[in-house]
Amino acid sequence: MDQQAFEAAVREYWIVREAQARKQRDGGRADAGTRGAVTGGAHMDAMAELMESIFVDAGFPPSSIARGSAVELPGYFRPEKRWDLVVVHGDALAAAIEFKSQVGPSFGNNQNNRTEEAIGNATDIWTAYREGRFGSVRPWLGYLFLLEEAPGSTRPIAVKQPLFEVDPAFLGASYKRRYELLCRRLVLERLYDAACFVTASADHTTPIHEPAPDLSFSAFEKAIRGRAAALLAVDG
C-alpha cells in the first residue's frame, strides 16, 4: 500500500475528531475537555479501512473481515471483547487488530490505563486461545497506536522511585518515548505479533512522525502480508 494512504488515514483521524467535537458543540451538549471528540466514535475508521484493504489485497475475501460490527471475540477473564478489526479464515481466527489513540492535554492520566489495557486484552485473548476458543491455528494480533505530537507528549517526564529503581529506559523519557517502548515490548514479549506507532498533530501542515523503523506502517504492513502468505499457503 502507498505510504500516502497511511498518512491520509492519520489526517482523517483529526478531521473526524474535529467534526465530532463541532457537532456536539453545535448541539449544545459538548463533553468536558476533549472528550466530545472521543465519545462520538469512528475516529479510527479510516485506519481500520486501510488495514482491511491490506488483508484483501493479500488474499483474504472481504466476507472474512469484520470491522464496526460482529467484532466481538470471546475472552477467558470476561465473556467477550470488541476488537477493531477481525479476520476469520475457515473456522479459525486469522487476525485481530486493536487501534488506540491518545490526545492531550492529560497525557499522564491515560498512559497507564492504555498500557494496562493493551497488556490485559492480549493476555485475555491468548488464554482464550489456549482454552480452544479460536480453533487450532494461532491467531495474529496487531496493535496500532496514534499519539498526539505536542509539547506535553514530547517533553521529559520525571519518575518516582521511593522504594525501588525503575527500568533505566524510562528515566527522562517523554510520553512519546514511553509509548514507543510499550509498543516494542508488546511485540518482544509476544503479546502482539506486530505493532505500529505513529505521532501527529492536529495541524495538517506538520509532518506525521514514525519514531521507530520497527514500529512503522511499512513494517506493520509487511507483518500482515507475511501472516496472510503463511496462512493462505496452507490452503494452496
pLDDT tens column, 31-44? 544 443 343 347 89
DSSP-derived secondary structure letter, 209: B
Q: What residues in the chain have per-residue pLDDT under 50? A: 32-41
**Edge-to-edge strand list for the sheet holding 194-200:** 65-66, 85-89, 92-102, 140-148, 194-200
The pTM is what?
A: 0.90
**41 burial via Cβ count (<10 Å: 0-12, 13-18, 19+):** exposed
The predicted pLDDT at position 71 comes to 96
The predicted pLDDT at position 39 comes to 34
pLDDT tens for each residue of 17-66: 888 877 776 666 555 444 433 433 478 999 999 999 999 999 999 999 99
Give 27-34 contacts, CB < 8 A, sequence gap 24+: 33/105, 33/106, 34/103, 34/104, 34/105
The predicted pLDDT at position 164 comes to 97
The predicted pLDDT at position 31 comes to 52
Q: Which residues, listed in sequence order, are joined to residue 92 by a DSSP beta bridge?
A: 89
Question: What are the E-state strand segments in the chain?
Answer: 65-66, 72-74, 80-82, 85-89, 92-102, 140-148, 194-200
Alpha-carbon distances, residue 100 vs 13, 29, 128, 183 (angstroms): 11, 25, 22, 11
Measure the CA–CA gap between 235 and 59, rounded to whole angstroms: 12
